[in-house]
A and B are shown apart, each in its own frame.
Chain A
Amino acid sequence: MSLELKPRVDALRHKVEEKGLGEVLGRVSPGEVASVGADERRVVIDVDFETYLRAGARIGEYLGVATILGSVMLGRVVEVRRRHVAHIAHIQTLYAPVEDPEGLKTPAQLVLEPLTECPMDDLDKCEPTPVYTPVDPLSIVFRPSPEFIAKMLGLPREGILLGKLYAGGFELHVEVRLPERAMYQHVLVVGTTGAGKTVLLKNMALSTINAVRNATVLALDLQGDYLLTTLPPEAPGVYQPLDEITVLMPVTRHLIDRHREDIQRIAARILGAEDAPLDVIDEGEAAELVGRALAELFVEGAYPGAKVLDAEARTEGIQAVEVRAEVEAGGRVFTLRLLPWAMRFEEVYPEIPRLFPFFSERVSMIFRRLVDMAARRGGLDIDAVVRNLDAAAEEMRRSLRLHQSQVDNFVRGMNMIYETGLFDVSYAVAESTGRRVFATFGEPDYMELGGLVVVDLRGFREAPSVASAVVYRVLSRVFEARDEELARGAAPSPTFIFIDEAHYYFPQEGAREDFNKEVVEAMINKLTRLGRVRRMGVVFATHSPADLNDLVIQLTNTKIAMRSEPKVLERVDMSEYAGELAYAQSGVAVAKSFIYRTHAVTFKTLPPQTRHREL
């Protein structure tokens, strides 16, 4: 080595230490080619045994390199080589297996893939670039500080917090965030059961509400997971549990029937007349009582042991529109905004052939006329229409020249729709003077939804067609609301739809129950295609991406893979991470996104930021 180079090489170490870039581990190996090219980027590092024993070496960890040409680089360890002295000296014993521990005292060799670089002397102002400059042997290698890693990876400083950077089997104190704009290009999370998808989604939901102003997070909740976001976790987290949650509670006729007596009992208690029959003259007050009773029933089911401290219902006529309840649960008080939700046949019926595609093509085309014929005999509510089907059938055959099979298709279909119990739901009691309706239920003003809005689908796990109808309706109305804002020239309110167990909403081949999932699928496709300009983003999570359609896979520009089988990763074009993810710890994930300079970032999710239902 020439005399001019020696001080330069020696000074590198001093610079690394002076700038506090990290702990020096070793040097780029003089015995190997340090290659930085278009196809291959590979630098071998020698770490003496004592340092190796003390500091360790791990696959996937980030290391820094200070080069003789004045660059500082960040790289990732892709291989660690350890050799016993017997291997180095090509020694094979004849009989005794070598059990010589002294032979372990050989330098460790780490193979590093350089990722980004900056000029050493302009590090503070530098925007990291891919590696363009060569790495000379004897360049200094150091274990970088978290700040250096964050800087060199160019990680976004703002956005939705996904977790902490994870490298070499350890979590680093470097936050991994997904910017808001990436959320509008949709996210797909895949991972096997127990890999931590739901924790990630719930944490993301919480972070979204904290990070994005006026955000609405609409969560389709089959398990009741999101209802727990108001309760504290076992250990304090980065975020506080939510102080307010909005729940869209689909109210079906079956639900009312099942809880008729409970509603009456709770309403009587609210009135102060324990066990007395519900007897309220004022219509609004009756609807209010039913709404409050529903809210208490909901709290009993969703938060066992919780107490409703105070509740106030808002009604429009006899429609129970909204109940705001102060709930004490898990040692804290939060506001539950319960929106009892049902569809009015009168408002929805033109869409029914699409919503429930079991009508024949011909019947679907003239569906509105057929309903009108039945409605003329008693009104445009589902009870009247179904009641008058037989009477209207003759007119249908005669005036529309319908074949009997088509009439039968319509009659059968309408009866099936009636059986879903989703339409024109009310709380009514039979009295001597007739049937008295105390409260009706409808849909909320979708423009007014904000914060975390949970669509409570717990009751529909075994009734996927009903769940699909609810989901389709809610999603389409939310889309319309954003569309309307866009049409008015206003910036649409940011809306993020969280769909856990997303495969549930997509038709599966050969499954009869999936008849109207195609409609939901079409709706989700529409959201992913057209959502971006309407500031709508969808976050999907599933263990089975094979069941999602290609469009969703294609349009989700950020993919997050957690512990998964290779075929799952292949489906989402992340096969290259199979080694890292096949046996990954729960919570460990690779986020692959256009947003990251390194294309992909491995992170570990934060622990549950609110209470979490263990599997």
Chain B
Amino acid sequence: MAVNGFRVLADYLASAKRALKPLRVREAEDSRPYAVKPLEGAPVRRVEGGAWRFAPVAVDGSTRKLAGPHFSAYVVGVAVYGLGEKAVDFIPGGLGRRFLALRAPREVLTQVERDGRLDFLIVKRSDGAYLDESCDCTDEDIFDEVRVSMESEALLRVAERGGGGLAVVDGPIYFDHWAKTRLLNIRMAAVEGLRRAGFAAVGVVKRVDKSQKLCAQEALDALSVEVDRRYCNDAYVASNAAPKSGIYLMGPFRLSYAGGDLRYYAFPDKVFWYASVHGSVFRVEMLHDDFRRLGGEAEEVAAWLAWTATSRWIPYVIDVVDAHAKRLTANLLIALREAVKSRDIPLTYDSEVEFLNALREHVT
């Protein structure tokens, strides 16, 4: 499917006559009006191990970009672990078809939109705006568009299966940027679907160096960490709060969006922990409603995710889906690059490097 589709797509891209303007770079996140409060006293505890007691469904998306002067292709692959008869299901694959967002001159986008053979393409944002030369967006925005919608699609499939349990997502439960309300709504619909099917959604956030949730004074006090808040981030706080050897869990903390801006009332409260695995940290989060529903088991989930950390310092189930999703997008990128190069379409240096990385990952 993909190989033939990529050839068709390459034909269209070869016909593009105009180069695209470079996209702006995403600025630092807004400082968000939220409050963080420690829950239940002792916030740092050593994780001592225990039985392999959870069998969650896990979802992760991987992203790669292939770009030339006339286009940018944003390839996303989603892996779902523990859903059904196979260990791992995929989008594209048994769970869905759309996996590639294309930014190109408008006339190219309108042409490909009409071609039924290219039903795997996304050419518009969720607000209906074309991803063309005038798109007011960043690469991250486009990736988020595709990944969030694909991951949410996968989560809905998990909800359809039913049976309850845990659904672990690589990344936050939802994006807390006010400008991404549409994506929030998509994700929250999926999370709501999961809850109705008896699942508790758990997010595992690996990249925490831009997050400042622990920089709230109450959090710092609870963790007994002194830091200049002007230069504070969660990775720094967590790695200072826990000893460097062993596995530690910090939390739970409750995060509430508040303030006078009504836009933030759309964000439900979350509960999160930070896990430190020999000094490497990641965040585990869930909706406050799920935290209450799970009772004492909520923290056991966080502890278990920490205890099953792998040699890549992340929870086992996240590593499984991450590895599979990466392998999938590596294969897709290789195939797309071959199709594009066969039509003599030039690529950026970064894309050629990305291709070589994908090849390396494919081989290993």
A: which residues have CB within 8 A of B? 48-50, 85-86, 88-106
B87 within 8 A of A: yes
Flag B303-318 by CB within 8 Å of A: 1 or 0 each.
0000111111000110
Partner of A104, one of B51, B87, B307, B311: B87
Which residues of A sit under 8 angstroms from B320, Cβ to Cβ?
Answer: 85-86, 89, 91, 103
Partner of A102, one of B87, B277, B327: B87
* Stretch in B37-45, B78-86, B214-222 with 4+ CB within 8 Å of A: B78-86
Given contacts A93-B310, A104-B87, 8 further A-B contacts (CB under 8 A): A85-B81, A89-B327, A92-B310, A93-B311, A96-B307, A100-B316, A101-B55, A102-B55
Give 1 or 0 for each of B271-293: 1 = CB within 8 Å of chain A CB.
00000011000000000000000
Most B CB atoms within 10 A — which of A49, A50, A85, A104? A85
Smallest distance from the beta carbon of A2 to chain B beta carbons, Å? 9
- A103 contact set on B, CB distance < 8 A: 87, 320
Taking CB atoms and an 8 Å cut-off, the chain B residues in 247-279 that contact chain A are 247, 277-278
Whether the Cβ atoms of A105 and B310 lie closer than 8 Å is: no
Q: Which residues of A contact B81 (CB under 8 A)?
A: 85, 102
Q: When the two chains form the complex, which single residue of B82, B85, B319 contacts A89, counting CB atoms closer than 8 Å?
A: B319
In the bound complex, do residue B86 and residue A95 qualify as a contact, i.e. CB atoms below 8 Å apart?
Answer: no
Cβ–Cβ contact A94 & B55, under 8 A: no
Set of chain B residues within 8 Å of A94, measured between Cβ atoms: 277-278, 309-311
CA distance A96 to B51 in the complex (A): 8
* B323 at interface, CB cutoff 8 A: yes
Contact of B316 with A96 in the complex, beta carbons under 8 Å: yes
Q: Is the CB of B308 within 8 A of A96?
A: yes
Contact A105 B308 (CB under 8 A): no
Q: Are B316 and A98 in contact (CB under 8 A)?
A: yes
Does B88 have its Cβ within 8 Å of any Cβ on chain A?
Answer: yes
* In the complex, number of A-B residue pairs with CB atoms less than 8 Å apart: 74
Q: Which residues of B contact A88 (CB under 8 A)?
A: 323-324
Task: Kindly provide the distance from the CB of A90 to the nearest chain B CB, expressed in whole angstroms.
Answer: 7
- B231: Cβ under 8 A from any A Cβ: no
- Residue of A with least CB distance to B319: A91
Contacts of B311 in A (CB 8 A): 91-94
Partner of A49, one of B51, B87, B277, B310: B87
Contact B86–A49 (Cβ < 8 Å): yes
A499 to chain B, nearest CB (A): 57
| B240-252 Cβ-contact flags toward A at 8 Å (1 or 0) | 0000000100000
Residues of A within 8 A of B364 (CB): 90
* Sample (6) of A-B pairs whose CB atoms are under 8 Å apart: A48-B86, A49-B85, A95-B307, A96-B49, A96-B52, A103-B320
The CA of A63 and the CA of B312, in the complex, are separated in Å by 41
Q: Which 10 A-B pairs have the closest CB atoms?
A: A89-B323, A99-B52, A105-B87, A102-B82, A85-B87, A96-B308, A92-B311, A50-B85, A91-B319, A91-B310
Query: How distant is the Cα of A98 from the Cα of B364 in the complex, in angstroms?
Result: 22
Whole-angstrom distance between the Cβ of A23 and the nearest chain B Cβ: 18
Q: Closest CB of chain A to B275's CB: distance in Å?
A: 12
Which residue among B85, B87, B307, B308 has the maximum number of chain A CB atoms within 10 Å of its CB?
A: B87
Q: What is the bound-complex CA distance between A48 and B87, given in angstroms?
A: 10
Alpha-carbon distance between A110 and B318 when the two chains are bound, in angstroms = 29
A residues near B323, Cβ cutoff 8 Å: 88-91
Q: Which residues from B are CB-within-8-Å of A50?
A: 85
* Given contacts A89-B323, A94-B311, A100 and B52 within 8 Å (CB-CB): yes
The complex places the Cα of A100 from the Cα of B82 at a distance, in Å, of: 10
Please, which residues of chain B bring their CB within 8 A of the CB of A101?
A: 55
Q: How far is the CB of A138 from chain B (nearest CB, A)?
A: 15
CB distance from B239 to the nearest CB of A (A): 17
Q: Would you give the shortest CB distance from B223 to chain A, in whole angstroms? A: 23
Q: Are B87 and A93 in contact (CB under 8 A)?
A: no
Collect the chain B residues with CB atoms within 8 Å of residue A92's CB. 310-311
State A103–B86 Cα separation when bound (angstroms).
9
A96 to B310, CA, bound (A): 9
Complex interface: chain B residues within 8 A of A99 (CB)? 51-52
A105 touches B85 (CB 8 A): yes
- Given A99-B52, A100-B55, A102-B55, are A93 and B316 also a contact pair (CB < 8 Å)? yes
Point out the residues of chain B lying under 8 angstroms from A98, CB to CB.
Answer: 52, 308, 316
Alpha-carbon distance A95/B88, docked complex (angstroms)? 24
Chain B hits for A100, CB < 8 A: 52, 55, 316-317
Question: In the complex the two chains form, is B85's CB within 8 Å of A93's CB?
Answer: no
In chain A, what residue has the closest Cβ to B324? A89
> What's the least CB distance linking A130 to chain B, in Å?
35
List chain B residues, Cβ under 8 A from A86: 316, 320
Shortest CB–CB separation between residue B48 and chain A, in angstroms?
Answer: 10
Which listed residue (B51, B88, B247, B309) contacts A85, Cβ 8 A?
A: B88
Considering the chains assembled together, what is the distance between the CA atoms of A50 and B82 in angstroms? 14
Q: Hey, which chain A residues are within 8 Å of B247, CB to CB?
A: 95
Kindly provide the distance from the CB of A63 to the nearest chain B CB, expressed in whole angstroms. 22
Are A95 and B309 also in contact (CB < 8 A) when A85-B320, A89-B320, A89-B324 are?
A: yes
Say how far B256's CB is from chain A's closest CB, in angstroms.
33
| CA gap between A98 and B55 in the complex, in Å | 12
- Nearest-Cβ distance from residue A84 to partner chain B, whole angstroms: 8
Q: Which A-chain residue is minimally distant from B1 (CB atoms)? A: A1
Nearest CB of chain A from residue B1's CB, rounded to whole Å: 10
Which residues 192-207 in B have Cβ within 8 Å of A in the complex?
A: none
Nearest CB on B from A6, distance (A): 11
- Give CA–CA (A102, B52) in the complex, Å: 12
> Once the chains are docked, how many angstroms separate the CA of A92 from the CA of B316?
8
Contact B87–A95 (Cβ < 8 Å): no
CA distance A88 to B82 in the complex (A): 15
B86 and A105 contacting across the interface, CB-CB below 8 Å: yes
Which among B86, B247, B309, B317 has the greatest number of chain A C-beta atoms within 10 A?
B86
Kindly report which residue of chain B lies nearest to residue A98, judged by CB atoms.
B316
